[in-house]
């Protein structure tokens, strides 16, 4: 019998410190730039202060990109512009520095960590630190079979928790979370549709490389069929992930919840991370307070999930490539908000009596006779 009880997260996860946030707001009101003049940067600075439980807020100095990787059997139906089982090639390109996330990370000086959960390749073809958490080779075809067994789902969830602990213990102060997958947006669409009670057509997007109309129809049908399998297990979030999620999505959900336990802020990238966050919200309602939506990718399932969690994206640049790219684009905004909140000077206190040019209080003049 499993010893993993997801209900424990409800008690373990606390909200960011509300008193600290009020202190951060009060400090902001005393600074030389009027409150509101910096737009959402004010909110960002206050959110980060509450997450850190520190006023003034500390700079974000040790961010990290964490990417969970996996192949999904549903890609065999032609729902993606990439060939089924080809996510390992994307991982190698990330590791070699050729993907957009790697270019941005190099420019920003942010390390990238890739965690293989279910790539369809020989584990010996990738570095040991990438494959050591792998649960299986590829996830099942969710329209006709479960993505994972119950044992594999628990192992994947615990792996995500372990990665969150590793990052928190190593001093990481903010994580940009993303995925490297083929077929992952289809699984994400199923999760969002199931949890929001919507039809497949409402959540079916075009994916990272803008599939054509025929592929979109295949994807919509795949989500519809998988959705029929998801609805009976909606009451059990781990079983839901085993049925229609996949090892990478299950690990990301575990990562998000454990990061909230460890008070480690997370920036969500695209539709896949949003779907995992939505599952996490169902497990522990306070958890989304530790997460920040980086950008609007244009995927309808992402918009649906973020709306349900009341998370407003920071950017709208139409970035659909995934792999943490949009999340990393938002990182400089978070760092800028922290710097402004901490370093803007406060207004000088006004003296109660007017001063003369030599700095002495001006004596009250005698009243003139009428």
Map residue 317 onto helix, strand or coil: coil
2 pLDDT band (50/70/90 cuts)? Answer: low
pLDDT grade, residue 1 (50/70/90)? very low
Is pLDDT above 70 for 355? no
Task: Quote the distance between the C-alpha of residue 295 and its chain's center.
Answer: 10
**Could you state, in order of their start, the residue ranges of all structural domains in the chain?**
8-16+62-334
When pLDDT is averaged across residues 142-152 and rounded to a whole number, the result is 97
Tokens of 354: 């007017």
Average pLDDT over residues 35-41: 93
Looking at per-residue pLDDT, the higher value among 360 and 63 belongs to: 63
Partnered with residue 72 across adjacent β-strands are 139
Catalytic residue among 93, 323, 353, 364: 323
pLDDT at 49 > cutoff 50 = yes
CATH topology of domain 8-16+62-334: Rossmann fold (3.40.50)
Query: What pTM, to 2 d.p., does this model score?
Result: 0.92
- Of 112-126, 177-191, 281-295, 318-332, the one with minimum mean pLDDT is 318-332
So what's the pLDDT on residue 206?
83
**pLDDT score recorded for residue 210:** 73
Give the number of other CB atoms < 10 A from CB of residue 307.
12
Least confident window among 17-26, 234-243, 331-340, 346-355: 346-355
**Where residue 143 falls among pLDDT bands split at 50, 70, 90?**
very high
Average pLDDT for 196-220: 89
Q: Average pLDDT of the chain?
A: 92
Q: What is the pLDDT of residues 88-106, one digit of tens each?
A: 999 999 999 999 999 999 9
Rounded to the nearest angstrom, the gap between the alpha carbon of residue 155 and the centroid of all alpha carbons in its chain is: 21
Asked if residue 211 lies in contact with residue 77, where contact means CB atoms within 8 angstroms, the answer is no
Residue 236 has pLDDT above 60, yes or no: yes
Task: Output the six-digit token pair for 26.
Answer: 């009060």
Question: Tens digit of pLDDT for each residue in 296-343?
Answer: 999 999 999 999 999 999 999 888 888 999 999 999 999 999 999 999
Mean pLDDT along residues 198-222: 89
Q: What is the edge-to-edge ordering of all strands in the sheet holding 266-268?
A: 112-118, 63-71, 174-182, 266-268, 291-293
- Taking 50 as the threshold, does the pLDDT of residue 352 lie above it? no
pLDDT of residue 209: 67
Inter-residue contact 253 to 68 (CB < 8 Å): no
Question: Catalytic site residue 323?
Answer: yes
């Amino acid at each position: 019998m499993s010893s993993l009880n997801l209900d424990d997260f409800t008690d373990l996860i606390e909200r960011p410190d509300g008193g600290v946030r009020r202190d951060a707001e009060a400090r902001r009101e005393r600074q030389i730039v009027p409150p509101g003049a910096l737009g959402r940067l004010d909110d960002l600075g206050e959110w980060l202060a509450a997450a850190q439980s520190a006023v003034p807020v500390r700079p974000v100095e040790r961010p990290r990109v964490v990417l969970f990787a996996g192949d999904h059997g549903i890609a065999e139906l032609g729902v993606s512009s990439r060939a089924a089982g080809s996510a390992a090639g994307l991982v190698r390109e990330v590791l070699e520095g050729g993907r957009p996330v790697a270019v941005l990370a190099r420019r920003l000086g942010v390390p990238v960590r890739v965690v293989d959960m279910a790539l369809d390749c020989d584990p010996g073809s990738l570095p040991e630190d990438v494959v050591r958490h792998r649960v299986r080779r590829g996830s099942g075809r969710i329209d006709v079979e479960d993505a994972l067994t119950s044992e594999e789902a628990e192992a994947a969830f615990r792996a995500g928790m372990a990665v969150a602990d590793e990052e928190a213990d190593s001093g990481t102060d903010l994580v940009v979370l993303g995925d490297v997958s083929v077929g992952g947006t289809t699984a994400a669409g199923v999760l969002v549709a199931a949890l929001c009670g919507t039809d497949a057509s409402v959540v079916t997007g075009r994916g990272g490389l803008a599939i054509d109309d025929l592929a979109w129809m295949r994807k919509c049908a795949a989500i519809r069929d998988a959705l029929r399998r998801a609805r009976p297990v909606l009451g059990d979030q781990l079983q839901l992930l085993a049925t229609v999620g996949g090892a990478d999505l299950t690990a990301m959900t575990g990562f998000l919840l454990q990061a909230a336990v460890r008070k480690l802020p997370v920036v969500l990238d695209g539709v896949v991370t949003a779907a995992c966050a939505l599952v996490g919200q169902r497990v522990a309602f306070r958890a989304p307070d530790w997460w920040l939506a980086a950008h609007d990718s244009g995927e309808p399932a992402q918009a649906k999930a973020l709306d349900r969690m009341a998370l407003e994206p920071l950017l709208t640049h139409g970035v659909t490539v995934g792999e943490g790219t949009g999340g990393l684009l938002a990182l400089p905004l978070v760092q800028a908000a922290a710097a402004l909140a901490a370093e803007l000077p406060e207004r000088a206190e006004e003296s109660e009596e007017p001063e003369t040019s030599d700095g002495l209080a001006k004596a009250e003049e005698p009243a003139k006779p009428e």
